[in-house]
Amino acid sequence: MTWTPLDEQEFLLENDDRRNNQENDQENDQENDQENDQENERDIVIAVDRVSKKFCRDLKTSLFYGVQDIATELGGGRRKSDRLRKGEFWALKAVSFTLRRGEALGLIGANGAGKSTLLRILSGLIKPDTGSVMVDGRLAPLIALGAGFNPILTGRENIYANMSILGLSTQAIKRRFDDVVDFAELWEAIDAPVQSYSSGMAARLGFACAIHVEPEILLIDEVLAVGDIKFKMKCHQRLKKLRENGTAFILVSHSAHNVMNVCPSSVYLAKGELVAAGRTEAVIRQYETDLCLAGSDEATGVLTLPEKPPHESLGIDIRSICFKDLQGNILPELYTGEPACLSVECHSYVEVEAANLGVMIKSLSGEQDLVLYLTAAADSEPLSLRPGSAEIQLQLPHCGLVPGIYSAKIYLREGVYSFDMVPSFRFKVQSDRTVSRCLFYQPRQWRVVQSTRRMGQSLKAGAFADDSPTP
């Protein structure tokens, strides 16, 4: 093949075109990345950047520090906000996270972790000592029961006052008034003073006012912990609708199930510091683990009780409590869906024909609600005990508890007479399967039963049945 100057010119032109196309593609990619970054920045409604807040435990010292800080600012000086003075402590320490439009973020942690302090900073009630907070959009805080309500005013008057503070005009409030009262279900008490309302009624009114403002950001602090089940269901349905319409909200709750059912992602605070952030299941699992290991009440799997003198015994004494596997080995922790046996070793000084063992299990990671209550009497299983040592076993073919930390109250009775009682036996449940969004574990099996008849035969048989004469 002969290479001519014309071919060389065409080759150079093609290379130039290819190079120009590559440069244009790179510029387009950069422009798209910049546009995506700008869109992501526009979607952010709350940005918390290394926020810290300190308080003083002594009231007089706190007032003195306040006057000192004001004098420093008036004199043009700079406060040393990043240092602790005598008696001060960090309620929040270098906390950072973002909330985007339409997101639901759970905020979990033990009492005193800094959750309410963070919500007060976001709502503008207090200022952080260090760091910055950016809030973009109309914000409606539900930080406490009846917050923003005047107890002397009626429910009707408080609706106008509260919703006007949240940014609505009088005409807008009039248009939404009936919807607010309908949602709160307070028509009979709407003209009564709020101080005569129960905590549940005040919470319903506050929640109804907040959601009918149609906020872009909603802050909820344990408000859903009160009220009946019907109202809680209505609140969850309304939160789902608000989120679909683009409202972002932060939910503070000690109920793990409430957070998991509402918030895909969560933030875990402990002693004012950010411990974990991410998927709600993983964050709550870490919170429950820390809750179990905190302090001296570690869930070891075995509880051994000191032996009582015979004259202090009421007839039967519980000596130890633990869980065992099918081979009789002690289980340090249970696994969801796996078999286990609750072993209660006791010593009897009397003969009992119909003893009753009761087990009341509460969840320590939620609101300490009763999750399981088992008794031998309810199962028509009277327990016969002779003088001496014995082991009472409660066989569990499947552990139905979901992962978490639990406390069991265990007692031995005969009728109404109580022999012995253990107020708290802590144990831990883990899982190697996905059950975090369930209230309990349901043992199950799956299978497909194939029909022996063909679909066409079934349809044909149905057609003949339709054509049969009517008697």
The domain that contains 236 carries what CATH number?
3.40.50.300
How many Å apart are CA 263 and CA 275, to the nearest integer?
Answer: 18
- Residue 182: inside a domain, yes or no? yes
- Residue 438: inside a domain, yes or no? no
Average pLDDT over residues 309-314: 85
- Residue 342: inside a domain, yes or no? yes
C-alpha triplet 177, 201, 151: angle, nearest 5°? 80
456 pLDDT higher than 60: no
Same domain, 229 and 85: yes
Same domain, 316 and 407: yes
| Segments forming the whole domain that contains residue 113 | 45-293
149 pLDDT higher than 50: yes
H or E stretch including 465? helix 455-467
394-428 pLDDT, tens per residue? Answer: 999 999 888 778 889 999 999 889 999 999 898 88
Mean pLDDT over all residues of the chain?
81
Same domain, 79 and 201: yes
Same domain, 281 and 163: yes
Number of domains in the chain: 2
Average pLDDT over residues 90-115: 89
What pLDDT was estimated at residue 227? 61
- Residue 446: inside a domain, yes or no? no
Same domain, 165 and 61: yes
- Under the banding of pLDDT at 50, 70 and 90, the label for residue 466 is very low
343-363 pLDDT, tens per residue? Answer: 999 999 999 999 999 999 988
Residue 375 to residues 50, 97, 371, 441, Cα–Cα distance (Å): 52, 47, 14, 20
Instruction: Map residue 405 onto helix, strand or coil.
Output: strand
How many Å apart are CA 220 and CA 128, to the nearest integer?
Answer: 20
Residue 154 to residues 187, 259, 415, Cα–Cα distance (Å): 12, 33, 51
What pLDDT was estimated at residue 157? 92
C-alpha triplet 454, 457, 462: angle, nearest 5°? 130
Same domain, 157 and 275: yes
Same domain, 244 and 369: no
What pLDDT was estimated at residue 22? 64
Q: Report pTM.
A: 0.62
Last residue of a domain, one of 274, 293, 312: 293
What pLDDT was estimated at residue 40? 55
- Under the banding of pLDDT at 50, 70 and 90, the label for residue 221 is confident
Same domain, 145 and 68: yes
Query: Of 303, 305, 263, 270, which is closest to residue 289 (Cα–Cα)?
Result: 270
Average pLDDT over residues 116-139: 88
Same domain, 228 and 362: no
| Highest mean pLDDT of the ranges 29-43, 154-168, 332-346 | 332-346
Token pair of 359 as six digits:
């087990």
The pLDDT > 90 percentage for the chain reads: 28
What pLDDT was estimated at residue 468? 45
Least confident of 158-167, 384-393, 428-437: 428-437
Same domain, 118 and 142: yes
Same domain, 310 and 287: no
- Residue 440: inside a domain, yes or no? no
Average pLDDT over residues 205-220: 85
Cβ atoms 438, 431 nearer than 8 A: no
What pLDDT was estimated at residue 358? 95
- Residue 466: inside a domain, yes or no? no
